[in-house]
């Protein structure tokens, strides 16, 4: 939502200030984070500009779930249509821009509404007829603080494996808590 000029200015300024052109680093990287709305509302010129920078650019978007009941449980103020639209834009950007990779975060857990997992599986398979190596999906496990029960953790890992084996995109666990 910062528009095209501010990220471009900050990236170019950092590149010059850090003298990355003379660095031993090969392919310096730029990391950006965005929302459903920022992904949908970003102008095409923003991606064109980012693709021309001397960086490999990684943009991570918190999509959380394509299921309306799950979004309600999470109190995420976004409609499922917007999540799907942001996901489709992510896929399109990943296909069209060589130096940009957009990734997405979704939740996974054993206390989520029953339609969360099927709708997630449907989404991560849509638009592909073969595996695609750009656009990783990160699954953030939701575990109650009192959930020391190994069975609940195994159930989350089982769900993770189910998504990973059926997805045509790379799938990873995003561990912000021990699983």
Instruction: Confirm if 161 and 126 have CB atoms less than 8 A apart.
Output: no
Handedness of CA 48, 53, 54, 57 (dihedral sign): negative
Model confidence, pTM? 0.89
Q: Determine the pLDDT at residue 179.
A: 47
Beta bridge mates, 138: 105, 172
- Using alpha carbons only, give the angle 52, 56, 59 rounded to the nearest 5 degrees: 100
Instruction: Give the contacts of 107 (CB within 8 A, at least 6 positions apart).
Output: 64, 65, 70, 74, 116, 139, 140, 141, 142
Q: What would the pLDDT profile of 108-165 be if each residue is shown by its tens digit?
A: 988 899 999 999 999 998 777 788 899 999 999 987 655 556 677 888 889 999 999 9
Pick left, alpha or beta for residue 55 (phi over 0 → left; psi -120 to 50 → alpha; otherwise beta). beta
CB 93 within 8 A of CB 102: yes
pLDDT tens digits for range 27-80:
899 999 999 999 999 999 999 999 999 999 999 999 999 999 999 999 999 999
> In sequence order, what are the residues at sequence separation of 6 or more whose Cβ sits closer than 8 angstroms to the Cβ of residue 99?
50, 51, 53, 55, 56, 57
Q: Could you please state the CATH topology (level 3) that the domain comprising 5-173 is classified under.
A: pyruvate-formate lyase- activating enzyme (3.80.30)
């Amino acid at each position: 939502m910062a528009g095209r000029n501010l990220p471009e200015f900050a990236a170019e300024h950092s590149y010059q200030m850090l003298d990355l052109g003379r660095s031993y680093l090969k392919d310096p990287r730029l990391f950006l984070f965005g929302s459903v709305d920022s992904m949908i509302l970003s102008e095409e010129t923003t991606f064109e500009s980012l693709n021309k920078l001397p960086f490999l650019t990684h943009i991570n978007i918190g999509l959380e779930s394509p299921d309306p009941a799950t979004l309600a449980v999470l109190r995420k103020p976004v409609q499922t249509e917007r999540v799907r639209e942001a996901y489709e834009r992510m896929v399109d950007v990943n296909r069209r821009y060589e130096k940009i990779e957009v990734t997405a975060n979704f939740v996974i857990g054993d206390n989520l509404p029953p339609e969360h997992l099927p709708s997630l599986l449907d989404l991560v398979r849509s638009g592909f007829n073969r595996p695609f190596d750009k656009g990783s999906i990160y699954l953030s496990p939701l575990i109650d603080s009192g959930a020391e029960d190994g069975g609940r953790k195994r159930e989350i890992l089982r769900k993770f494996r189910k998504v990973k084996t059926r997805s045509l995109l790379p799938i990873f666990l995003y561990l912000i808590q021990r699983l």
